[in-house]
Structure 1
Amino acid sequence: MPSRLRLSLLALSILMAVGVGARAEKTDRQKPLVVESDGKQSAQVDLARKLTVVSGNVSISQGTMLIRADRVEVREPQDGLYNAVAFSWPARQATFQQKRDVADEFIEAQADRIEYDGASERIKLLGNAWLRMRRAGTVTDEASGSVITYDQRQDTVQFDGQGPAKPGVVPGKVRLVFTPRSASAPAAASAASSAGGAQ
């Protein structure tokens, strides 16, 4: 494993460990999984295969977890546990967000495809994936990769390579920005702004 990637993985593990016990909102996993669309497209349910396909500005929610996509496939491989695959729009990525068990803190992500595994409580972001931490409405910590796996239960993140990046980001490079929790809101905003302008 290249030293740069190794250091990036170590840095992101520190990012996710900031604030002991800071995990995805624990009560979310007890809530129902709700799939909705704008109604302009279609929904098909295959009872025999336990497969539901919904198209047209779809949202998947479970407590504070929210995934938005153009099309979603939902399966029930085990009773009461669901898997979902969310596909992006032609010109816009699918998105994910969830509150963490920390006051006013959210994890946000976007990718070409998002896979949710209810049994293992993992979110896999595939294709031009970005992951961000937001505190008090300000983006503080941020990272990108071609495939990012977020383990909600363990509150860990794993990177698998680096694919084509967005404008302003050098391919093959993971840039992480950390903002101290004690920083005031203006200082946090300044740090996030500086990170966005750096290349």
Structure 2
Amino acid sequence: MKFNQKPVTKMHRNPNVGRSALVAAALLLTSTSAFALKDDTNQPINITSAQQSLDMTGNVVTFTGDVVVKQGSIDIRADKVVVTRPENEKGKEVVEAFGNPVTFYQLQDNGKPVKGHGQKLRYELATDFVDLTGNAYLEQLDSNVQGDRITYKVKEQKMEAFSNKGKRVTTILVPSQLQKKN
């Protein structure tokens, strides 16, 4: 299936369910702008999965089975993606991606790619807070950080890495990349 084709599911038979799924998909990709080029959020959204389901009373959309999310330079792959919107609280959506592992890739405004993976990715729109857990790993060029949990406060551009008890966070910094930054 090509990325611009809509998967054929029973959900497309009911126009209200289809619209709700599209809204959820849009929310999902808007949330990933924390990682993206500024122009990425203006690009078309493409989500493919083996299955999707919508709980209209709980405001939850679940995508399962080789989920691929693409918008501009963003590429997220997971076994399962769940988008939740608290009732009557637009802008407070929570996006959770689960996988073995969840992977993501994006280009920053400076043209440098950022790659990462973990067992779970959680993004809270209201606070612009990203939480990558379970063998979390982030890489830019040859520099990387690895721990059990990596958090990122998007607006503040602050990242923290944590390890489980008895383990340590590992960071590899490539000197030539540090010098180019100064």
TM-score, normalisation: structure 2: 0.66
Cα pair distance change 1:115/1:69, threshold 3 Å: same
Please say which of residues 152-161 and 108-117 is displaced more in the overlay.
152-161
Deviation at 1:116, TM superposition (A): 1.9
Distance 1:163 1:99 in 2: 33
Distance 1:113 1:96 in 2: 11
2:129 paired with 1:129: no
Unpaired stretches in structure 2, ≥5 consecutive residues: 1-34
Q: Which structure 2 residues correspond to residues 1-199 of structure 1 after superposition, within 5 A? A: 24-29=36-41, 34-37=46-49, 39=50, 42-77=51-86, 78-79=89-90, 82-88=93-99, 92-103=100-111, 105-134=112-141, 140-162=142-164, 171-181=167-177
Residue type of the alignment partner of 1:120 = T
RMSD: 2.9
Distance 2:101 2:85 in 1: 25
Superposed CA offset, 1:174-197 (max 9, x none): 23222424989xxxxxxxxxxxxx
Superposed CA offset, 1:85-114 (max 9, x none): 1111xxx311122221102x0111100111
TM-score, normalisation: structure 1: 0.61
Unpaired stretches in structure 1, ≥5 consecutive residues: 1-22, 135-139, 165-170, 185-199
Higher relative contact order (CA 8 A, sep 6+): 1
Runs of 4+ in 1 over 3 A off after TM superposition: 27-35, 181-184
Q: Secondary structure at the match of 1:112?
A: strand
Q: Secondary structure at the match of 1:66?
A: strand
